[in-house]
Amino acid sequence: MANRKELDILFKATKISKSFGDFKANIDIDISIKKGEIHALLGENGAGKSTLVKIFYGVLKPDFGTIEVNNHIVNISSPKSARDNGIGMVFQHFSLFPALTVAENIFIALDKKIIFKNLISEISSLSKEWELFIDPMRLVSELSVGEQQRVEIIRCLMQNPKLLIMDEPTSVLTPQEIENLFKILKRLSSSGCSILYISHKLEEIIELADQVTILKSGKCVSTLNAKTTSTKELAETMVGKKIIKLKKSSVIDNSKNVALEVINLNKIKDNNFGITLKNINLKINYGEILGVAGIAGNGQIELMEMLSGEAICENNDEILLDNIPIGATNITSRRKLGIEPIPEERTLHATVPNLAMNHNTFLTYYYKYQNTKNFFSNFLINPQNSLEESNKIIKDNDVRCPEPNPLANQLSGGNLQKFILGRSMANDPKVAIFSQPTWGVDIGAATSIRQKLLNLSQKGKAIILISQDLEEIFELSDKVCVINNGVLSDILSVNEMSASDVGLLMGANVNNLKKSEIL
Ligand code: ADP
Ligand code: MG
């Protein structure tokens, strides 16, 4: 008979292994979760966390290993069978349809048959009960990311889960939304629902979790009691070495020249889900980092498009580089002039997922190879001549690859980001524009990416850092502003703004973001 301890265990996975080709993403992983326990899953990028929870939710099939729910071995062959076993999941990248309403999105994902009208009242009552306020009739495209997450959580709650899995739920939320989410998770856990929670944020894990399992290179290296561990111990166990602190020089040099200037830039949105940029003004000097904070979906993508030259300004003098108008030039011309965009979407924007790294180097910077000997071979353009450079980028930037010259989609998020950054820096830009550079990247890779940004600014480069991560903004920036509904706030020195000032500007509902008018 099962002893008392085993009766407390809701979910137990034993010796879970999963390979992609020759690459072992999960190796003999054991994890057990008690009823009502909040169990965190921590690990560097590429450690195998998402793979593991996809196995638990039936999205991936393990090569080996068993899963038990309530002491019975179960076969989780699909998400539906996961849900039948009481397992719900909120994904890292949401799976909602923007053109449908909240209720329609929930309706199409439900296993049980329910009359649409009853569904709406069920959503309303769940949303009241759990303080996950959401109007079931609103279009998902009109919701903030935090609100979209509420929809996903409600959708899970409707299935009465015994185990709720969340893959990096807070990387997209404001501090206020995070607080709210934690309240809900704590309430869920005290009502007996277990939670498996992936996060890169160590403080969060300490605050929220009971237990924490740490993965490294596909293996489980440790399970610790979150109540007695420290952020330092977590970080060091995860990375397997001592964490180096960021080095920032505090000297502010007023003699620096203006690198990039944006003057009264306007851009009307070109699709229903876009944001109109309204009279954007900004100025950045060489050697400075300008942080642009804001909740996703407030014009960051559009701003990036305008600055990079993916979208072209109506007037050439809406953007100046070294005092010379460049607003009407395209992305390749701007790259040649020294402006490097490092976009938010690593796959499908910064890279083509099913092309090899050298092809990805070639496609972005084909003009660099135009004068090389083998540019044309057999009347075709030959990407081989970028192999040497792409291998150098991989080596110089500690990009960990499962094989030589892999496809972009074979790399983990953090490693792909290191590659993209290295590829841009090989151009020795004057101005680098980063959008969410450490989104979903583990603390080890994030620290190395942030240190690179600081080093670049200390070398005199101008850096625009568009980020939702306030800690990152404050850690790196010399000056800060906020983008909210296509409007850019005043730019102030970091010493003049606190994180809560920025949080207020991010959440404010205004058309004119003057600090003095809001704070
Ligand atoms: P984490 O969520 O911890 O960042 P993942 O579980 O997403 O890591 O990835 C673990 C490793 O498995 C990574 O190195 C990644 O490149 C690899 N991997 C993930 N999915 C696939 C796939 N479909 N094909 C090949 N390799 C993959
Ligand atoms: Mg992941």
At 241, the pLDDT band (50, 70, 90 cuts) reads low
User: In the 8-state DSSP scheme, what is residue 226?
Assistant: T
Distance of CA 47 from the midpoint of ligand 1 (Å): 8
At 1, the pLDDT band (50, 70, 90 cuts) reads very low
Closest CA to 434 of 291, 265, 283: 291
Distance of CA 167 from the midpoint of ligand 2 (Å): 7
Pocket mutation for ligand 1, best pick of 171, 357, 412 (most atoms within 8 Å of C-beta): 412
The percent of residues in the chain predicted with pLDDT above 70, rounded, is 92
Pocket mutation for ligand 1, best pick of 24, 41, 50, 51 (most atoms within 8 Å of C-beta): 51
Give yes or no for a contact between 82 and 67, defined as CB atoms under 8 angstroms apart: no
Distance of CA 451 from the midpoint of ligand 2 (Å): 22
Distance of CA 49 from the midpoint of ligand 2 (Å): 6
At 201, the pLDDT band (50, 70, 90 cuts) reads confident
pLDDT in tens, 71-120: 999 999 999 999 999 999 997 666 789 899 999 999 988 887 888 889 99
For atom 12 of ligand 1, the residue with the nearest CA is 25
Count how many Cα atoms sit within 13 Å of the Cα of residue 401 in the half-sphere of its side chain: 21
pLDDT in tens, 123-148: 999 999 988 888 999 999 888 778 88
Give the per-residue SS3 of 337-396.
Answer: HCEEEECCCCECCCECCCCEHHHHHHHHCHHHHCCCCCCEECCEECHHHHHHHHHHHHHH
For atom 19 of ligand 1, the residue with the nearest CA is 51
Distance of CA 50 from the midpoint of ligand 2 (Å): 4
pTM summary value: 0.67
Q: Give the pocket of ligand 1 (CB within 6 Å).
A: 20, 23, 25, 43, 45-51, 410-413
Using left for φ > 0, alpha for ψ between -120 and 50, and beta otherwise, residue 299 falls in left
CA 167 to ligand 1: nearest atom:
2
For atom 14 of ligand 1, the residue with the nearest CA is 46
Distance of CA 295 from the midpoint of ligand 1 (Å): 27
Distance of CA 413 from the midpoint of ligand 1 (Å): 8
Look up residue 335 and give its two tokens: 């790259």
Phi, psi of 228 (to 5 degrees): -115, -5
The reported pLDDT for the residue numbered 180 is 87
Q: Give domain 244-338+430-443+461-519's CATH number out of 3.40.50.410, 3.40.50.300, 3.40.50.2300, 3.30.1330.200.
A: 3.40.50.300
Ligand nearest to the CA of 48: 1
pLDDT in tens, 413-428: 889 999 999 999 998 9
Cα–Cα distance, 465 to 470 (Å, whole number): 11
Mean pLDDT, rounded, for 219-233: 92
Ligand nearest to the CA of 49: 1
The percent of residues in the chain predicted with pLDDT above 90, rounded, is 58
Ligand nearest to the CA of 401: 1
Residue 463 pLDDT greater than 80, yes or no: yes
Q: Where in the chain is the domain with CATH 3.40.50.300?
A: 4-239, 244-338+430-443+461-519
Average pLDDT, the chain: 88
For atom 13 of ligand 1, the residue with the nearest CA is 46
Q: What letters, b where the CB count within 10 A reaches 16 and e where it falls short, cover 22-59?
A: eebbbbebebbbbbbbbbbbbbbbbbbbbbbbbbbbbb
For atom 23 of ligand 1, the residue with the nearest CA is 20
Ligand nearest to the CA of 441: 1
Cα–Cα distance, 226 to 249 (Å, whole number): 34
Pocket mutation for ligand 1, best pick of 410, 411, 442 (most atoms within 8 Å of C-beta): 410
Distance of CA 37 from the midpoint of ligand 2 (Å): 21
pLDDT in tens, 355-377: 999 999 988 888 888 887 777 77
Pocket mutation for ligand 1, best pick of 50, 92, 165 (most atoms within 8 Å of C-beta): 50
Report the chain's terminal Cα–Cα distance, integer Å.
Answer: 63
Residue 58 pLDDT greater than 90, yes or no: yes
* CATH superfamily of the 4-239 domain: P-loop containing nucleotide triphosphate hydrolases (3.40.50.300)
Instruction: Fill in the amino acid letter for 70.
Output: N
Distance of CA 81 from the midpoint of ligand 1 (Å): 23
More confident residue, 332 or 363: 332
Cα–Cα distance, 516 to 415 (Å, whole number): 42
For atom 18 of ligand 1, the residue with the nearest CA is 410
Distance of CA 438 from the midpoint of ligand 1 (Å): 17
Place of tokens 């709720």: 164
For atom 15 of ligand 1, the residue with the nearest CA is 412
At 513, the pLDDT band (50, 70, 90 cuts) reads low
Mean pLDDT, rounded, for 26-54: 93
CB atoms within 10 A of CB 517: 11
Ligand nearest to the CA of 353: 1
